[in-house]
Amino acid sequence: MKSKVLLPMVATVILAGAMFLAGCEKETPAGTTGIQQEWPLPQNRTGYVVDKITWYESSTNHTEAYYEYNEDNKLVKRIINVTIMESYGLRNSTYIDTFLYQNGHVSRIHTTATPEENFGRPDWIFYYDEQGRLMRYEYGNNVVCVAYSNGLPYKIYKPDNEEFYTILKYDSAGNIVRTDSRVPECNMWGDPTGRFEIRTSTYEYDNAPRPNFNLDNVWVYEPIFGMGTSYETCVRILSKNNMKRYSVGPETWEYEYNELGFPKTMYFQFANVVPTHRTVYTFTYRQVNNKM
């Protein structure tokens, strides 16, 4: 049986396009999200951040991620060490994401790898408005804009073709419980019909705070390795609590919590995986200074 390994993946860019920041909406009419909140979403800050995440299957198949913060508690590096047994022997790889800041916000994320052969990954580039809200992000040829309502992200769309978009809907707890995406309609063979359809997804949460990486404004980047290609990355990170179910996948998450209320163990089940196999992540946290 072939071994499974969790390699670092990049958050899926939901929509793609290309345009200057001036073409992105800054605000939409009030009343579309259902709640009034200021950006960023309030988190249950307890003075702790994620220090390490591990996934372990065996001594020859495991992954560890370490998180480094600066004196202002901002994440500056994510270091992922991967060990996997391959046909030619044991392979060890390291992936490092470096976070560059400008005016107090992440402006770019650069990834390097060891060994470097056959590795190429574009930088994430982020643009903000005068309030510090993420307005546009780029990843390679993918460019996406964000519109806001009541201070919260409300619409994610292609700046060069606004026929494609996703609308985010929140509940009173600050969690995104529904998304409506306008996408091309396809027939039973997967061919476009020339029409559009609205695809609705729903989400369920626990009532505990999410693991804190102090990256709330960069909500399109997935800090947990091995989960970055999931569609719901933006939805999970924008929400206050931990996602448990996703209707379309349907991926599922289960949690065990530490004395602070944060997840200490996360069980993740990919949709349509045969045989059924749950991925188990273990979280450790560390206390930081009082600047949070």
Q: What are the pLDDT digits (tens) for 256-272? A: 999 889 999 998 876 66
**Is residue 3 domain-resident?**
no
Cβ atoms < 10 Å from Cβ of 82: 22
Q: What is the mean pLDDT of residues 159-187?
A: 88
- When the pLDDT of each residue in the chain is averaged and rounded to a whole number, the result is 81
Tokens linked to 128:
């903000």
Look up the pTM and report it. Answer: 0.81
User: Please, are residues 34 and 173 in contact by the beta-carbon 8 Å criterion?
Assistant: no
What's the CATH number where 276 sits?
2.40.160.190
Q: What are the pLDDT digits (tens) for 25-58? A: 665 544 444 443 443 444 445 589 999 999 988 8
Give residue 22's pLDDT: 44
**Is residue 11 domain-resident?**
no
**Is residue 276 domain-resident?**
yes
* Nearest alpha carbon to residue 137 among 191, 111, 145: 145
**Is residue 281 domain-resident?**
yes
**Is residue 9 domain-resident?**
no
The whole-angstrom separation of Cα 138 and Cα 124 is: 6
The residue behind tokens 């992922």 is 80
Count up the domains in the chain and report the number. 1
199 pLDDT above the threshold of 90: no
Domain, as residue range, for 146: 46-287
Q: What are the pLDDT digits (tens) for 136-160? A: 999 988 899 999 998 899 999 988 8
**Is residue 94 domain-resident?**
yes
**Is residue 22 domain-resident?**
no
Q: Which residue has the higher pLDDT, 246 or 19?
A: 246
Assign 234 to helix, strand or coil.
helix
**Is residue 2 domain-resident?**
no
